[in-house]
Amino acid sequence: MFEHDPDESWTLLTSPGPARPVALDADAQGDPVSGPRVLVASPFEAELQPLASACAAASLRAQGAEVVAWDAHLRPESEPAGPFDLALVSVQQFEGLESGLELARRLASTTRVVTFGQYAQMNHRAFLDVVDAVAMDEPERIAAELVEAAGGSRELTKVPALMTKTGMTPKPPQRRIAVPAPARDLFPSLVHYPAHHTPFGLMGNIEATRGCHHKCTYCSVYGAYDGGVAAYESDTVLADALQLAEDGIRHFCFIDAEFFNSRTIGVGVVERLVKEIGPITFEFTTRVDHILDYGTELAKLVSLGLVRVTSALEFPSDRILRIFDKHIDVDHMRAAIVRAKELGFELYPTFIPFTPWIEYEELLGFEDFLDDTDLARVTDPTALQTRLLLFKGSPLLSSPWMEDVETVDRGFWIDWTHPDRRVEELWQERRAGAEDAGRGRCCVKC
């Protein structure tokens, strides 16, 4: 049915090679000089222990830096004491934009600051008003050069893939992300993060790839990666899973935007993990077309402990699915729901019912669709009120579908108004329990 092999179109990224030796001070009679002191700060990472920051910290530490980490969302009162030679601020999700900019501004008063992450990239102009540079690539790939810059032997303007006020330095060669196990020891334990407590037990967040080979027009991952994929070495993923297992974790969530960016890395890691520690359970995110096409892989994964698959269904309307460039229709959606039951995993759907193109009558019939497909049992109540977020950098903003939509620029996002006031009234009705724009997401990457 769907004939796409994602392994053929990867954009593969990685960290540099082995750690470089730390310089020696002659006066110290051979004792190593301590490396530059670098802060890695996370303003928000989907209410989870910040894996992107832990990976960046591990790559910097491997290059000889003294790394201090700070989850500013979970522990805002615990800002580490400086001074620092360099600070890296991770901006991964929309919810972390405002707080990330404010955190970067505060840190920039005392040290040089580099921001990284997909929302930092898409908003690099705003960040360059307050920081020294924005990493336009995976930070693990340029860890050695960042440590050199922190130590004073390289200018930030000479670090590959950094965007500064004077322009952008070319990116280094593309390879897989290969770092030691993420530096989770620098952050609070998983038990302190409410999102890690699940019906399947304490959950460990792991990742085999970043980016996504699909180009759904509403998606921030497409906005940042443009269909590119940054894949990890499988040994790195396994090392992270094993360190989590040592802390008693037996349920894992692959937080990749698309598990089947690779048909081999995630499956291979699960097989090796089961062999190493015994029975586990796990979950991941994938698309409807992959549920339909990758039956052999999914059956194998169920036998290894797959219990739940999150899939962004968006809305049961062929017109909306075309606007979102999902390459599926409602019949495919219904078939995937049936296939999930046959294979033996729970399909956990996400939806975006409120868009500028939805019709009022379609919204009224949405709950009937959930009942008919038995999805009402597992659908999060917030799905009934989720509103399309038009973030700055959204591919939808340049779409002809937006031509007649009334919009207002809100800074980091574009507000829109539906032409049918009944739709807006219904959304106001349903949003009583909703949080600010961008809160509802189809995966932890949004």
Identify which of 281, 302, 234 has the alpha carbon closest to the alpha carbon of residue 262.
234
Please report, as a single letter, which amino acid is at residue 39: L
Query: At how many degrees (to 10) do helices 295-304 and 265-277 cross?
Result: 20
For the chain, the straight-line distance linking the first and the last C-alpha, in angstroms and rounded, comes to 28
Q: How confident is the model at residue 383 (pLDDT cuts 50, 70, 90)?
A: confident
Please spell the DSSP secondary structure of 76-139, one letter per residue.
TT-PPP---SEEEEE--SGGGHHHHHHHHHHHTTTS-EEEESHHHHHTHHHHTTTSSEEESS-G
Q: How far apart, in whole angstroms, are the C-alpha atoms of residue 328 and residue 322?
A: 8
Chain centroid, CA 245 distance in Å: 22
Task: Tell me: pLDDT of 160 over 90.
Answer: yes
pLDDT digits 0-9 by tens, 4-48: 333 433 333 333 333 333 333 333 333 345 799 999 999 999 999
Handedness of CA 168, 170, 173, 174 (dihedral sign): positive
Q: CA dihedral defined by 265, 266, 269, 271, rounded to 10 degrees? A: -110
What are the residues whose beta carbons fall under 8 Å from the beta carbon of 192, sequence distance 6 or more? 74
Q: Which residue has the higher pLDDT, 14 or 383?
A: 383
Pairing of strands 162-164, 133-135: antiparallel
SS3 255: coil
Residue written as tokens 């989590």? 244
Residue written as tokens 């169920």? 302
Q: Residue 232 in contact with residue 258, Cβ under 8 Å?
A: no
Residue written as tokens 């031509």? 403
pLDDT digits 0-9 by tens, 214-258: 999 999 999 999 999 999 999 999 999 999 999 999 999 999 999
Task: Tell me: pLDDT of 147 over 50.
Answer: yes
Identify which of 56, 117, 216 has the alpha carbon closest to the alpha carbon of residue 104.
117
Task: Tell me: pLDDT of 127 over 60.
Answer: yes
Q: How confident is the model at residue 146 (pLDDT cuts 50, 70, 90)?
A: very high
pLDDT digits 0-9 by tens, 75-118: 999 999 999 999 999 999 999 999 999 999 999 999 999 999 99
- Mean pLDDT along residues 160-184: 94
Q: Residue 325 in contact with residue 283, Cβ under 8 Å?
A: no
Q: How far apart, in whole angstroms, are the C-alpha atoms of residue 244 and residue 73?
A: 22
Hey, what domains does the chain have and what are their CATH numbers? 16-168 (3.40.50.2300), 189-433 (3.80.30.20)
Handedness of CA 268, 272, 274, 280 (dihedral sign): negative
HSE (CB half, 13 Å, CA atoms) of 366? Answer: 24
Please report, as a single letter, which amino acid is at residue 32: P
Q: Residue 150 in contact with residue 65, Cβ under 8 Å?
A: yes
SS3 243: helix
Q: How far apart, in whole angstroms, are the C-alpha atoms of residue 396 and residue 389?
A: 10
Q: Compute φ and ψ for 257, nearest 5 degrees.
A: -60, -30
The percentage of residues in the chain with a pLDDT greater than 90, rounded to a whole number, is 85
The percentage of residues in the chain with a pLDDT greater than 70, rounded to a whole number, is 89
Q: How far apart, in whole angstroms, are the C-alpha atoms of residue 237 and residue 427?
A: 41
